[in-house]
Structure 1
Amino acid sequence: MQSGIAASAELTAAFNNLLASPRQRGLLVKIDKEKLVPGPSIEPSSSDFFSDLDLLTPHVKDNEAAYIILRRYPDASDSFIAVTYVPDTAPVRQKMLFASTRLTLIRELGIERFRETIFATTKAELTADGFRKHDKHVELEAPLTEEEQTLGAVKRAESEEGRGSSVKRSHISDHFAMPISDDAMGALKKLGDSESGDNLVQLKINVSSETIELASTSTATLPDLSTVISSSEPRFSFFKHSHDATNGSSSASIIFIYTCPGASKIKERMLYASSRQGVIAVAEKGAALTIVKKIEASDPDELSPESIEEEFKPKVETKKAFDRPKRPGRSGALLVVPKVGQMAWRAENRACKAYLFGTISEHIARQKAVV
């Protein structure tokens, strides 16, 4: 889900100033009048990243969302991290706007400049202890996949090519910032390559590490979907549906199903909503899947076999019967010019409309007869 919000010229200028000022620690970004605009800059009090996190305290509010760009790796080309801070007490519309625009922010400013994106909902996560816990969790994650290593090399090459230029590189905006595990990517590829085996792949988001992971693979039929897809957590599901093609032969089509139960946590809702398009792009480009239908539902119970089957039924075209051209004149009636001294009036019934002629006295007599 994309919000349509873009970076303002003021934000681009402020970020370029941050790039040109190695000692500046960071920059706050807000959404104002449907644009990303710069907030206060964060000047360092020391050369230590963790010590400078105390500088965020006056800028982080209990009920106001914000983006925080921080310089963490000063000697690297991708020296920044982008923090999306969305407290639970922020207004609902603000939550959705910031969640759906978080990837747009780094794309507008240049994804090659950012090594990591972080989603936070509490002030504690933005302290030194909070960052250390985050780092420890990331260290426990699996090493980079081959696709991620390739993407990293591309980003570094693009960064070297564009170094010294303040112009953003729009051609990399299609990259998905959230990493995907080897198991998840492997399951998607197998779904597209294999003629048999499991036909349902469910992916989930690891909220703490913001990573796409494999939830499960299984064999399912249309009636099974409402029970095998999780009813307690959001899911990105890819289902290979076997059906009859228009030429009478059997065919298998990939359906993308996004479910987000009403009991899901706010942070889960925002992460899944903002990652939906990225997951589809990864499946289509990375795993070479051809997705023919996209379905969204609050709960798996809404996935009825009838409604899905209806999407694959060939459209029956009904030929319109030939209509004989009507005669000229209103309602197809032939209008005869009355003689001098006569008047014309229109008599109507349920079946037809016609013009009748006669004298005024004849018309009055007929009207009385009707009454």
Structure 2
Amino acid sequence: MQSGISASTELHSAFQTLVNDESSRFLLATIADESLVPLDTIASQSPSDFHADLALLAPHLKPNAALYILLRRSPSRFVAVTYVPDAAPVRQKMLFASTRLTLVRELGSEKFEEQVFATTAEELTAEGWQRHEAHVAGEQPLTQEEQDLQGIKEAEAQESGGTGARRVQTSGHLSMRVDEGVVEALEGLKDEGKDENLVQLKIDVPTETITLVSATAGCTAAALSTSIAADEPRYSFYRHKTDSGAAPILFIYTCPGTSKVKERMVYAASRGFVVSLAETTAELPIAKRLEFTSPEDIGPEAIDEEFAPKEEKKTGFAKPKRPGRR
């Protein structure tokens, strides 16, 4: 989902100042009049202690207002933070979530080593950031030799067209990590001879990695409501057999009302990437894109309705009525 909002000239200028001025630690930005605009620049008080400078953000983090924070992690390392508190207005939440990729892309995605999505002010304190760093560091506790071997394997997978876990760039969207087996499962839906006709994907929210949940065989339209997870969001790709014998591919996005706010934001903002991944990387033609709050709402009637011929109501020429007497 893209919002159509773009970065203003003022924001470009303010970010360039942040990049060039090593005494600047934070650049705050928001959305105003359908544009990304700067709010304030905060100078560092402890140039050698990033964690100590995080205390400078506290007065600017409101419990009911979203905010973009572009921060200098070190002299040449920058991080883009999207702060969307739970108490922010719903429309604001969706707008900030759907525009965060645009913000980074327009300012130069190569300048940011990381993107962070926060829903509480506590996450942007020294303690909260250290927990984040520990989590990221714990994702790949590899030795240098293991890292080199992993790099070789990923390079080989890319050379051979494999689907090892790696970052994927799709047209019009930033890159995201795509886990092993995702693209292969999507490509399998093109083969009508295969039994698997329902592929479910999810996002590992902390790492924003697209992962494969399952590839289900012989799923009917009537079984979709019980086959798709009802306790968390899902991206589902379904090969539907129509009465005419065709087998179009449906993209079905479900997001239960019980989903966490952060889940909703990340899934909504990443939906376009997943569709593009299927269409461009897996070369999977998507015939219809459907969205439901709960899998319980999905049924044969709802699916068949999408393919029912639209009846055009024809009306004959009506002769104008004769004006009445005055």
Scaled to the shorter chain, the TM-score interval is 0.7 to 0.9
**After the TM superposition, which of the residue ranges 173-182 and 111-120 deviates more from structure 2?**
173-182
Of 253, 257, 266, which residue of structure 1 is paired with 2:252?
257
* Alpha-carbon shift at residue 272 of structure 1 (Å): 1.4
Aligned to 1:96: 94
Aligned to 2:56: 55
Is there any run of 5+ residues in structure 2 with no aligned partner, and where?
141-149
* Alpha-carbon shift at residue 61 of structure 1 (Å): 2.0
Aligned to 1:224: 223
The CA RMSD measured in Å over matched residues stands at 3.1
Aligned to 2:2: 2
CA offsets 1:312-352 (integer angstroms, 9 cap, x no match): 3466889x89x9x99xx989xxxxxxxxxxxxx99xxxxxx
Aligned to 2:147: none
Residue type matched to 2:223 in 1?
D
* TM-aligned CA distance change 1:261 to 1:129, over 3 Å: same
> 1:268 and 2:263 equivalent?
yes
Aligned length: 303
**After the TM superposition, which of the residue ranges 273-282 and 22-31 deviates more from structure 2?**
22-31
* Alpha-carbon shift at residue 187 of structure 1 (Å): 2.0
Secondary structure of the 1:108 match is helix
Secondary structure of the 1:25 match is strand
CA offsets 1:279-327 (integer angstroms, 9 cap, x no match): 1111111211110111111111211212312333466889x89x9x99x
Secondary structure of the 2:246 match is strand
Aligned to 1:197: 195
CA offsets 1:62-106 (integer angstroms, 9 cap, x no match): 22211111122544xxx3211100111222222222112111111
Aligned to 1:365: none
* TM-aligned CA distance change 1:242 to 1:30, over 3 Å: same
2:55 & 2:102 partners in 1: Cα distance?
27
Contact preservation (8 Å) 1:111, 1:173: no
Of 277, 280, 284, which residue of structure 1 is paired with 2:279?
284
1:103-122 matches, cutoff 5 A: 103-122=101-120
2:70 & 2:249 partners in 1: Cα distance?
38
Aligned to 1:67: 68
Of 123, 126, 129, which residue of structure 1 is paired with 2:124?
126
TM-score by length of 2: 0.81
Secondary structure of the 2:41 match is strand
Residue type matched to 2:257 in 1?
G
TM-score by length of 1: 0.72
1:151 & 1:273 partners in 2: Cα distance?
18
2:71 & 2:253 partners in 1: Cα distance?
33
2:92 & 2:174 partners in 1: Cα distance?
23
Q: Give the share of equivalent positions with the same residue, in percent.
A: 51
Contact preservation (8 Å) 2:188, 2:194: no
1:330 & 1:317 partners in 2: Cα distance?
23
Is there any run of 5+ residues in structure 1 with no aligned partner, and where?
153-171, 332-344, 347-371
**After the TM superposition, which of the residue ranges 255-264 and 43-52 deviates more from structure 2?**
43-52
2:284 & 2:72 partners in 1: Cα distance?
37
Secondary structure of the 1:94 match is helix
> 1:135 and 2:133 equivalent?
yes
CA offsets 1:191-220 (integer angstroms, 9 cap, x no match): 335730321111112222222222222121
Q: Which has the higher contact order (CA 8 A, sep 6+)?
A: 2
Contact preservation (8 Å) 1:31, 1:37: yes
Contact preservation (8 Å) 1:30, 1:36: yes
1:95 & 1:38 partners in 2: Cα distance?
18
Residue type matched to 1:278 in 2?
F
Aligned to 1:163: none
Secondary structure of the 1:116 match is strand
* TM-aligned CA distance change 1:139 to 1:200, over 3 Å: farther
**After the TM superposition, which of the residue ranges 91-100 and 132-141 deviates more from structure 2?**
132-141
Secondary structure of the 2:247 match is strand
Contact preservation (8 Å) 2:198, 2:216: yes
Residue type matched to 2:69 in 1?
I
Of 205, 209, 213, which residue of structure 1 is paired with 2:207?
209
**After the TM superposition, which of the residue ranges 268-277 and 131-140 deviates more from structure 2?**
131-140
